[in-house]
Amino acid sequence: MGVPGFYFDAPMWQPVGVTTVTEKKNPLGPIGERVQWNVERLRTARKLTKADLSARTKEAGRLIPPLGISRIEAGTRRVDADDLVVLALALNVSPSALLLPPSAGPEQINLTPTYQVSSDTAWLWAVGRRTAMDWEPGEGVPLAGSGADPAIDAEAYEREKEFGRRQVAYESLSGPEGLRRGSSHPAVRLARNLADVIVDLVAPSAEELQSSPNVQATRSRMARRRYAQLGIELDEIEDALTEYEARDVEVFREPGRSGQRYKWARKDGTGPEYPIEIGTEAGTHHGEEPPEPGSPTSEKD
């Protein structure tokens, strides 16, 4: 007869229903595993021993002992935010280089156990360029196209609108206000988007070329369209500034500000100076308008 509550083919100290395997209460997620792999990859690329890397973390102000480095690379020590920053400093890389894969492209990666985006989108998200959603406005299923499935057409339209909403919300709080002011202008967005397309055009991945033989021709057309759109935006900005020149005022860029902010003053040196900011819509002015020639002026802050 067996002893109640125990199996004879199990150790006598093991009660029924109790496993000998200890499960981690808080296992590493996909980002934690990627940090684990990237620390070893980057340390090797820098030709650093674990002791070398440990010494660098001490110089940066937060010591991670060599044993701690070993445990991070083995996945038995979690990396908190302070560890992440000091490791990035010690390895002379961006924190994003520890969080994300070393390549950017169409392949899907996990940001959480259930949320996936392309590695290209993940990198743009990490550097403050776009929301973490795989969608390119204007691309994909052509809206209201001849013979298009209305259901697919409507879905594409709704996804594009949702991307736009997320992008606006993302930009509203991502990064310092001074940088956000300039990056919100359509010309800046077009220039960045054009640069991204050109990068893909001059350095396509082998996988993309094999899967989509016509992808380069499509990108070339996209680049030309966006280049033309950028030219229109720049013309609008130039026209807005020329308007002030025609009103007998001088427009100049304010030192220490972004290229979005300008000041004006009368060419004869009279009158106060007022800021001019070219807004999110090309040619829109925010702030004080120059007074009409001959009208009285008053000092303002």
3-state secondary structure of 268: coil
Per-residue model confidence (pLDDT) at position 152: 59
- The four Cα atoms 247, 252, 253, 254 give a dihedral, to 10 degrees, of -100
| Strands in the chain per DSSP E | 108-110, 116-118, 249-253, 261-266, 274-278, 285-286
Report the 10 Å Cβ neighbour count for 111: 19
Which tens digits make up the pLDDT trace of 284-294? 344 444 444 44
Per-residue model confidence (pLDDT) at position 178: 67
Res. 33 pLDDT band, cuts 50 70 90: very high
Percent of the chain with pLDDT over 90: 31
pLDDT at 300 over 70: no
What's the pTM?
0.61
Which tens digits make up the pLDDT trace of 186-204? 788 788 788 878 887 887 7
Task: Give the start-to-end residue ranges of the domains of the chain.
Answer: 30-99, 178-301
pLDDT at 110 over 80: yes
Res. 141 pLDDT band, cuts 50 70 90: very low
pLDDT at 145 over 50: no
Per-residue model confidence (pLDDT) at position 209: 74
Res. 123 pLDDT band, cuts 50 70 90: very high
Res. 243 pLDDT band, cuts 50 70 90: low
Alpha carbons 110 and 299: distance in angstroms, whole number: 57
- DSSP-assigned states of every residue in 79-128: --HHHHHHHHHHHTS-HHHHHS-S--SS-EEESSSS-EEEHHHHHHHHTT
CATH topology of domain 30-99: 434 Repressor (Amino-terminal Domain) (1.10.260)
Average pLDDT over residues 23-36: 86
3-state secondary structure of 199: helix
In terms of C-beta density within 10 A (0-12 exposed, 13-18 middle, 19 or more buried), how is residue 30 classed? Answer: middle
Average pLDDT over residues 24-53: 93
Percent of the chain with pLDDT over 70: 63
Round to the nearest angstrom and report the end-to-end CA distance of the chain: 95
Per-residue model confidence (pLDDT) at position 269: 53
Res. 149 pLDDT band, cuts 50 70 90: low
Q: How high does pLDDT run on average in the chain?
A: 74
3-state secondary structure of 55: helix
pLDDT at 280 over 70: no
pLDDT at 251 over 90: no
Average pLDDT over residues 211-236: 84
